[in-house]
Amino acid sequence: MDRTDESASYCPAPADPTPAGRVAGPPYANCVLCAAPTEYGVATPGVVLCPVCEWQEAQRTACSG
């Protein structure tokens, strides 16, 4: 089997769409528990949690029956 034919079938990776130093999308809010970036913009009202803290909070409230 010729390796050159196999490697030629793959597409090259696309260029990075965001220039260096710029964040894609709106400025994101930090999690109120761990300060990690969240999926929510800074203008989002209420308690803003990162995906990990949201999942942990959901587990705590689901078991507090």
> How far is the CA of 4 from the CAs of 8, 10, 59, in angstroms?
6, 11, 51
Burial per residue of 15-30, b for 16 or more beta-carbon CB atoms within 10 angstroms, e otherwise: eeeeeeeeeeeeebbe
Tell me, yes or no, whether 44 lies in a domain: yes
pTM over 0.85: no
- Note the pLDDT of residue 22: 46
pLDDT at 12: 72
- Side-chain-side CA neighbours of 32 within 13 Å: the count stands at 10
| Domain around 51 | 24-65
Radius of gyration of the chain (CA): 21
pLDDT in tens, 8-60: 666 776 665 554 444 456 789 999 999 999 989 888 888 899 999 999 999 98
Number of domains in the chain: 1
> 6 or 49, which is more confident?
49
- Confidence (pLDDT) at 21: 44
Question: Is the Cα torsion angle 24, 31, 39, 29 positive or negative in sign?
Answer: negative
Domain annotation covers residue 4 = no
What pLDDT shows up at residue 62?
87
